A and B are shown apart, each in its own frame.
Chain A
Amino acid sequence: MTSDHLAVLTLRLVLLRVVLNGLEVLLGRRADYQESGIFSWIVTKADRSWTSSGKIAGLLDPGMEYPNYLWLVGLQFACALLILPVHGNIQWVLLLIVLAIEFLTTLRYCIYGTDGSDGMHLIVLCAIVLYFSFSTPTARLIVLWFIALTAMVAYFAAGVGKLLNPAWRNGTAIEIVMMSENRGNRTLARWISRIPHLNQLICWSTIAFECCFPFVVFLGPTATLILLSCGIVFHFSIAASMGLNGFFWSFIATYPAVFRLALDLHSLSH
């Protein structure tokens, strides 16, 4: 597979998340963006001096206030749908619109209501826009490697962070997470706790997967594909059990780039 094929696959996965997010905003949480909502622009813009007053605030306000912001989300949704089925030339202007509205959305949330999947989503979206901005194959390859390396660092940091937490090492972390109100699944938590040592197995499997992620690319494309398949299962199970569907799309979107890195490392060593 060429870099362009893999980049288009990354782009489609990122845009699928944009489409799903757009649907959730437009159909599921419009009220949250009203003046009375949790993401009211009148309130969230006060968190930064440059969004609450001045020229930049004057430029942002018309688009960010309700209901204009929903039109922007609709525009982003439409642009993503237009780009998704394209095989040949990616309309760079449409991509830029998707990215610009994603930046505005980041301003809207401040740091509240976001998680690591939003960070990875924005990084991959920025990087893929850069990819299609460059015309030289070398520059494009560098961008793909950057996406791969970022994913590797993200997984490794998460794995090391868990390794340093006694609750993850002794196996109680899964129970704590599953019993939590917003992220957990209490039925699953009770089921897991009935099976001896399953908590510890899940904890250590998670730590091992995340810590080993950066190193498997050096073992060749086949080993990398096996790892990435485990990653897909890992993220799908998190989405299914905890409702964290954002992580599935954001992190899976980095996998084509990781595979490309494994191919290139394999070529260099042979």
Chain B
Amino acid sequence: MKWEPVFAIGLVAVWFAGIVCVQAVAILEIATRRNLARALWWKKLDVFDLCPVFLLFSALPVSHYHLLYRDQSIGGSISPWNLVSLPARGATRFIWHPDWRKRVALEDMCRSLLSHVGRELWKGATPSPFCFPYVALANYTAQIPACPLSSARQFMIAQSRTIPEQQPEVLFVSPLFSLRTNS
């Protein structure tokens, strides 16, 4: 199998070059504070993210996002805001941490939605929240059990800083959307 070493070198060289390129661009973005996403135009082909960014906490979690929801009844009255709570992190999380992905996914979706709305506002357009993170968050909050008299729901994203600790600040409120009815 004389072709194997040549094939191996070619394959890993291309792959490794991609990984190095992604890290270099990520570091340059931090150093120059510029968006260099255009340099990674080929990343859209990397559907499985085989060239990921390994900055690993170089960007700090300075904010925490709180997801809340409230309902509108068929009579039109609006309920108070309810916090979408997650189970407390247990002492065994160093080996057993099943809710880790959900926590991170919710945080990522909140951040992405806020970035999307921010970009829309920056463009000067009438901001439309409709994007994948919005749909995902709406679907998630819509499935939380509701009072039988509730006809619509909306969710809110509030942000609080990690340090210094402060009261949450409302950043986004969704439009009301119909709740699914079981038929």
* Pick from B54, B95, B132, B162: contact of A153, CB under 8 Å: B54
CB of A167 within 8 A of CB of B60, answer: yes
> For residue A155, which residue of chain B has the nearest CB?
B54
Q: Which residues of chain B in 1-18 are interfacial with respect to chain A, using CB atoms and an 8 Å cutoff? A: 1-2, 4-5, 7-9, 11-12, 15-16
Q: Given the complex of chains A and B, what is the CA–CA distance between A37 and B102 in angstroms?
A: 9
Q: Which of A85-93, A117-125, A220-228 contacts B (4 or more CB under 8 A)?
A: A117-125
Total interface residues in chain A, CB < 8 Å: 81
Q: Which residues of chain B in 47-101 are interfacial with respect to chain A, using CB atoms and an 8 Å cutoff? A: 47-50, 52-62, 64, 89, 93-101
Residues of chain A within 8 A of B20, CB atoms compared: 153
Given A138-B5, A139-B4, A176-B163: A182 touches B54 (CB 8 Å cut-off): no
- Nearest 3 A-B pairs (CB), nearest first? A28-B98, A161-B58, A119-B52
| A113 interface contact, C-beta 8 A | yes
Residues of chain A whose beta carbon lies under 8 Å from any beta carbon of chain B: 20, 24-25, 27-29, 32, 35-40, 43-44, 46-48, 103, 106-107, 109-116, 118-120, 122-123, 126-127, 130, 134-136, 138-139, 142-143, 145-146, 149-150, 153-158, 160-162, 164-165, 167-168, 172-173, 175-177, 179-184, 210, 239-241, 243-247
Residues of chain A within 8 A of B99, CB atoms compared: 28-29
Q: Which residues of chain B in 82-140 are interfacial with respect to chain A, using CB atoms and an 8 Å cutoff? A: 89, 93-109, 112, 132-133, 135-136, 139-140
Given A38-B136, A116-B56, A180-B162: A130 touches B8 (CB 8 Å cut-off): yes
Q: Given the complex of chains A and B, what is the CA–CA distance between A179 and B161 in angstroms?
A: 10
Q: Which of B22-30, B146-154, B170-178 contacts A (4 or more CB under 8 A)?
A: B22-30
Residues of chain B within 8 A of A142, CB atoms compared: 5, 8-9, 12
| B158 interface contact, C-beta 8 A | no
The tally of CB-CB contacts under 8 A between chains A and B is 208
- Smallest beta-carbon distance A154→chain B, Å: 4
Given A150-B19, A245-B94: A182 touches B4 (CB 8 Å cut-off): no
CB of B106 within 8 A of CB of A38, answer: yes
Residues of chain B whose beta carbon lies under 8 Å from any beta carbon of chain A: 1-2, 4-5, 7-9, 11-12, 15-16, 19-20, 23, 26-27, 30-31, 47-50, 52-62, 64, 89, 93-109, 112, 132-133, 135-136, 139-140, 142-143, 162-163, 165
Q: Given the complex of chains A and B, what is the CA–CA distance between A44 and B165 in angstroms?
A: 33
> For residue A206, which residue of chain B has the nearest CB?
B57
Residues of chain B within 8 A of A35, CB atoms compared: 143
Q: Given the complex of chains A and B, what is the CA–CA distance between A79 and B174 in angstroms?
A: 44
Cross-chain pairs A/B with CB under 8 angstroms, 10 sampled = A29-B99, A112-B105, A113-B101, A134-B1, A136-B5, A138-B5, A161-B30, A161-B55, A239-B95, A247-B56
- Smallest beta-carbon distance B85→chain A, Å: 12
CB of B54 within 8 A of CB of A109, answer: no
CB of B60 within 8 A of CB of A177, answer: yes
CB of A136 within 8 A of CB of B19, answer: no
Q: Given the complex of chains A and B, what is the CA–CA distance between A111 and B1 in angstroms?
A: 38
Residues of chain B within 8 A of A158, CB atoms compared: 54-58
Q: Given the complex of chains A and B, what is the CA–CA distance between A45 and B31 in angstroms?
A: 35
CB of A116 within 8 A of CB of B98, answer: no
Residues of chain B within 8 A of A24, CB atoms compared: 96-98
Q: Given the complex of chains A and B, what is the CA–CA distance between A40 and B142 in angstroms?
A: 13
Residues of chain A within 8 A of B57, CB atoms compared: 158, 162, 173, 177
CB of B1 within 8 A of CB of A136, answer: yes
